[in-house]
């Protein structure tokens, strides 16, 4: 008889349940992306998710692992997250490359699920951003934010997706716009104050919150992301530690510096709602595999993400820093896990001496 150790009762949680909960939580954000970018969003989502699933299947086959693991939801989730962090302007081959990269180099080469150091979707996005800066920083004008042309219907989207702007007789300039973060950054270099820049951009907090600004697919609506994130926290699929400490750190830094010099530093609410912060705070930084295990470790991780995000946004070359911040903090996770441990019952010291 095989020896089976206690306990003989189980709470019923599973990897599949966890992954599909996150996928469900991302449905509102995905729907907003379709609302903003029409068929283009549908193509990107399908390609990324499909690409990740097929790559995962092939990897598992090559490595003689159980191919049924494709359906544990992790590859699908990676695909979904990847699509949501990509700008709508990326062509099909770039999205496919990102999907393959995320699964092969981001996940399977480390040993598969549970062993990857970086969040696969974010790692793939970093590679794309560094390799193809033009496409990755061109932000299509969303459907409901003054996109004059009829480019989000099925055929035009398909042509654009496969053959680029030339195929629909457009130039990049005509169909793209700046994101609020990017616009403020450029204006600041020309001596314009933050307040003026926001005024010129016609920035509205409400629009940023419910989702009408340019950006990556899933970044559009802070509201949709918040809904999903809070639902996940309520279900205890993700713990509150990382999102709260992440967002709190960004808000605190922005508030402090905005207090010191409102001309140079953007206000906290702007930082919170802009760019990929919400998506990263609720869905990227909370990826269990690439974040610390303990509660205190998670707080430190969130703080580090927040600090780096704000520093890169304010002083860096890139207008958006959330993605880099999370990837950089991913590297620090083994260290955090080693040095920050909860206090063990009956012991006084928190941190090991060795």
Partner 1 sequence: MKSNVIKLVQNIAESLHLKPQHSFAGGVHPKQFKRTAHEMIVDCPLPPVLIQPIKQHIGELCEPIVQVGERVLRGQKIAKSQGYLCAPVHASSSGTVIKIDDHIIPHPSGMGLLSIFIEPDGKDEVDESLHPLPNYRSVDAIELRERVRKAGLAGLGGAAFPTFVKLVQDQQHPIETVILNGIECEPWLTNDDQLMVEKAHEIIGGLDIIMHMVEANQAIIAIEDNKPMAIESMQQTLLGMGLEESVRVEVLPTKYPQGGEKQLVEVLTGKEIPAGRLPIHIGVLSQNVGTSKAIYDAVCLGEALTDRIVTVSGDALPQPMNMRVRLGTPIRFILEQCGLEYLDDIKVIHGGPMMGELLSSVDVPVVKASNGVLAMHKYSVMQAHHEEEPCIRCGDCGDVCPAGLIPNLLAMHCKEEKFDRAEDYKLFDCIECGACSYVCPSHIPLVHYFRFGKGQVAQIRREKDFAEESRVRSEARDARIAKELAEKEEKRRVALERKEARAKAAAEAAATNTISEKPQEPDVVVKTDKPEAES
Site track for partner 1 across 96-125, x = CB under 8 A: ----------------xxxx----------
Smallest distance from partner 1 to CB 99, Å: 20
- Of the candidate spans 10-18, 185-193, 268-276, 277-285, the one that interacts with partner 1 by CB under 8 A turns out to be 10-18
Name which of 104 and 192 has its Cβ closer to partner 1.
104
158 binds partner 1 (CB under 8 A): no
Residue/partner pairs of 309-316 with CB below 8 Å, 24 or more apart? 309/246, 309/250, 309/277, 309/280, 310/249, 310/250, 310/253, 310/254, 310/271, 313/181, 313/185, 313/271, 313/275, 314/257, 314/265
Residue with tokens 């006084």: 348
342 binds partner 1 (CB under 8 A): yes
Residue with tokens 């219907």: 153
Per-state percent for the chain, helix, strand, coil, to nearest 5: 65, 0, 35
Token pair recorded at residue 31: 């729907």
Smallest distance from partner 1 to CB 336, Å: 12
342 conformational bin, left if phi > 0, alpha if psi -120 to 50, beta if neither: beta
Smallest distance from partner 1 to CB 235, Å: 12
130 binds partner 1 (CB under 8 A): no
Token pair recorded at residue 193: 């104050």
Q: Phi, psi at residue 116, to the nearest 5°?
A: -70, 140
Alpha-helical regions (H) of 63-153: 74-85, 92-104, 120-131, 133-136
Burial class (CB in 10 A: 0-12, 13-18, 19+), 265: buried
341 binds partner 1 (CB under 8 A): yes
Residue with tokens 């020896």: 3
Token pair recorded at residue 253: 């830094």
- Of the candidate spans 94-102, 154-162, 219-227, 293-301, the one that interacts with partner 1 by CB under 8 A turns out to be 293-301
- Of the candidate spans 50-58, 273-281, 309-317, 334-342, the one that interacts with partner 1 by CB under 8 A turns out to be 334-342
Smallest distance from partner 1 to CB 161, Å: 33
345 binds partner 1 (CB under 8 A): yes
337 binds partner 1 (CB under 8 A): yes
Name which of 6 and 148 has its Cβ closer to partner 1.
6
Is the peptide bond preceding residue 7 cis, with omega within 30 degrees of 0?
yes
Q: Phi, psi at residue 137, to the nearest 5°?
A: -120, 20
Q: What distance in Å separates the CA atoms of residue 261 and residue 251, rounded to the nearest whole number?
A: 15
Binding residue for partner 1, selected from 24, 192, 226, 289, defined by CB under 8 A: 289
Size of the site for partner 1 (CB under 8 A): 40
Smallest distance from partner 1 to CB 33, Å: 26
343 binds partner 1 (CB under 8 A): yes
239 binds partner 1 (CB under 8 A): yes
332 binds partner 1 (CB under 8 A): no
Give residues in contact with partner 1 (CB under 8 A): 1, 3-11, 13-15, 17-18, 72, 74, 112-115, 239, 288-289, 291-295, 298, 337, 341-347, 352, 354
């Amino acid at each position: 008889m095989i020896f089976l150790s206690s306990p003989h009762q189980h709470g019923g949680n599973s990897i599949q349940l966890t992954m599909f909960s996150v996928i469900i939580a991302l449905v509102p954000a995905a729907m907003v992306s379709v609302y903003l970018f029409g068929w283009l969003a549908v193509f990107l989502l399908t390609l990324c998710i499909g690409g990740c699933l097929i790559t995962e299947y092939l990897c598992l086959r090559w490595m003689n692992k159980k191919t049924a693991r494709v359906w544990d939801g992790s590859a699908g989730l990676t695909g979904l997250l990847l699509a949501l962090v990509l700008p709508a302007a990326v062509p099909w081959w770039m999205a496919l490359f990102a999907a393959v990269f995320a699964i092969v180099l981001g996940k399977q080469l480390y040993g598969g699920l549970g062993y990857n150091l970086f969040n696969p979707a974010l790692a793939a996005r970093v590679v794309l951003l560094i390799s193809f800066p033009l496409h990755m920083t061109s932000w299509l004008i969303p459907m409901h934010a003054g996109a004059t042309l009829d480019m989000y219907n099925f055929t035009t989207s398909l042509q654009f997706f496969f053959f680029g702007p030339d195929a629909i007789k457009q130039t990049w300039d005509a169909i793209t716009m700046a994101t609020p973060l990017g616009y403020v950054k450029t204006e600041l270099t020309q001596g314009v104050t933050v307040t003026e820049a926001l005024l010129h951009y016609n920035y509205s907090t409400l629009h940023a919150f419910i989702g009408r600004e340019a950006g990556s697919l899933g970044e559009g609506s802070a509201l949709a992301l918040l809904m999903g994130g809070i639902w996940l926290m309520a279900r205890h699929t993700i713990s509150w530690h990382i999102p709260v400490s992440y967002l709190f750190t960004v808000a605190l830094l922005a508030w402090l510096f905005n207090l010191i010099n409102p001309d140079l530093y953007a206000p906290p609410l702007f930082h919170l709602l802009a760019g990929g912060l919400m998506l990263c705070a609720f869905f990227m930084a909370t990826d269990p595999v690439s974040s610390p295990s303990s509660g205190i470790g998670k707080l430190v991780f969130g703080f580090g993400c927040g600090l780096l995000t704000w520093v890169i946004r304010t002083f860096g070359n890139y207008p958006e820093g959330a993605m880099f911040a999370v990837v950089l903090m991913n590297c620090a996770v083994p260290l955090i896990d080693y040095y920050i441990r909860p206090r063990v019952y009956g012991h006084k010291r928190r941190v090991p001496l060795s």
